[in-house]
Amino acid sequence: MRAAVCSVHGPPESVEIREVDAPTPGPGQVVVSVRAAAVNFPDVLIVADRYQLSVPTPFVPGSEFAGEVAELGEGVSTPAVGDRVRGTVFHGAFAEQVVIDADRVHPIPDDVTMVDAAGFYVTHATAYHCLRSVASLQKGERLLVTGAAGGVGSAAVALGVAMGAEVVAVASGREKLDLCERLGASVLVDASADDLRGALRESVPDGIDVVLDPVGGDVAEPAVRACRYGARFVTVGFASGDIPAIPLNLVLLKGVTLAGFEMRGFGTHHPDLMSRDLQELEDLFASGVVRPAVGATLPLDEVVEALRLLADRRATGKIIIVP
């Protein structure tokens, strides 16, 4: 089968398309024929060996996919061959087939496309855990989302609107801000403004209740300064490439609560909250309340460009690979 292979850690250009052996399911596993695979920012970090966990080379990157069950391992009765399923793996999804434990795939509703199914889980679960469990976002509160046109950002905008918040979207350029507006953001702030702090003060003079920040860098401090007294600030990543140094005097004076979110740690320490959140998120997805904002679909041959779009922060919405 054809797959994207990272033979040496480095930039997206380290990945190349090769013929590799098709996977064989072990006991309790299934092989899925991949019809769509989403590109997430951690995929870029894993290829570069800059993620929290290192993956030895060679490996196939990609964590999120949708497709049809092609083969069952010993002891598997469900799902059945031909069933439409979605799932996540740490790596291996940017290929024509992927192997996964049978109990880790989920059925895809009949009215949901493979592209939407592949692009939903990782970013929306991240955003929902942050808003629901970490920040305890309440109806009527004002939510500021940085990187609001990216994967996690666009998911947070849509979910914030669904949860009844007033959403302030911070993104760079008209195209990205237009996407945020379509997702329901009521206040749009251009992150490329010369004075982001001033732009936020002018746009939201009454301040922010909750900040969800997947960007870091130069955006984080203006977002803290825009907070009301007692606001909650959740950091979920550093897509800018820079880890910010927040002046703690701002935290002190504003009574801001700083919190962080990382999926593995959250699941380990709060399994009950994770289970509750995921069930609620499944209900929102199945009912059609939220769908991923897909910015582009690219063939497997263009996986380097797909990764590069995220690495350079040029992606608008989710980028989907269609093998």
pLDDT tens column, 229-258: 999 999 999 999 899 999 999 999 999 999
Torsion angles phi and psi, residue 6, rounded to 5: -100, 110
How many whole angstroms separate alpha carbon 233 and alpha carbon 208? 10
Interior/surface letters 167-186, b for 16+ CB within 10 angstroms, e for the rest = bbbbbbeeebbebbeebbbe
Task: Identify the band that residue 89 occupies on the pLDDT scale cut at 50, 70 and 90.
Answer: very high
Angle between helices 151-162 and 114-128 (to 10 degrees): 80
The predicted pLDDT at position 52 comes to: 85
What token pair was written down for 197? 């702090």
Task: Identify the band that residue 13 occupies on the pLDDT scale cut at 50, 70 and 90.
Answer: very high
HSE-CB of 95 using CA atoms within 13 angstroms? 25
The predicted pLDDT at position 194 comes to: 87
Residue 274 in contact with residue 266, Cβ under 8 Å?
yes
Residue-wise pLDDT for 202-211, tens only, equals: 999 999 999 9
Query: Which letter does DSSP use for residue 263 in this model?
Result: H
Q: Tell me which residue of 89, 90, 71 sits closest to 81, measured CA to CA.
A: 71
Q: Tell me which residue of 176, 166, 119 sits closest to 138, measured CA to CA.
A: 166
Q: Residue 280: pLDDT above 90?
A: yes
Q: Tell me which residue of 152, 138, 155, 126 sits closest to 210, measured CA to CA.
A: 138
Question: What is the chain's mean pLDDT, rounded?
Answer: 96
Q: Tell me which residue of 76, 25, 46, 18 sits closest to 307, measured CA to CA.
A: 46
Residue 262: exposure state from Cβ atoms within 10 A (0-12, 13-18, ≥19): middle
Which residues does 256 contact at the CB level (< 8 Å), separation at least 6? 224, 227, 230, 231, 232, 233, 250
Q: Which range is least confidently modeled, 79-88, 97-106, 238-247?
A: 238-247
If you average pLDDT over residues 76-94, what whole number do you get?
A: 97
Q: Residue 313: pLDDT above 90?
A: no
How many whole angstroms separate alpha carbon 168 and alpha carbon 157? 8
Residue 22 in contact with residue 34, Cβ under 8 Å?
no
Share of the chain above pLDDT 90, in %: 94
pTM of this structure:
0.92
What token pair was written down for 182? 């379509």
Cis upstream peptide for 292 (omega within 30°): no
- Mapped onto helix, strand or coil, the DSSP state of residue 101 is strand
Q: Which domains does the chain have, with CATH numbers?
A: 2-108+293-322 (3.90.180.10), 124-266 (3.40.50.720)
Residue-wise pLDDT for 19-61, tens only, equals: 999 999 999 999 999 999 999 999 999 999 999 889 999 999 9
Task: Identify the band that residue 151 occupies on the pLDDT scale cut at 50, 70 and 90.
Answer: very high
Q: Residue 193: pLDDT above 90?
A: no
- Mapped onto helix, strand or coil, the DSSP state of residue 146 is strand
If you average pLDDT over residues 287-298, what whole number do you get?
A: 93
Residue-wise pLDDT for 209-237, tens only, equals: 999 999 999 999 999 999 999 999 999 99
The predicted pLDDT at position 61 comes to: 98
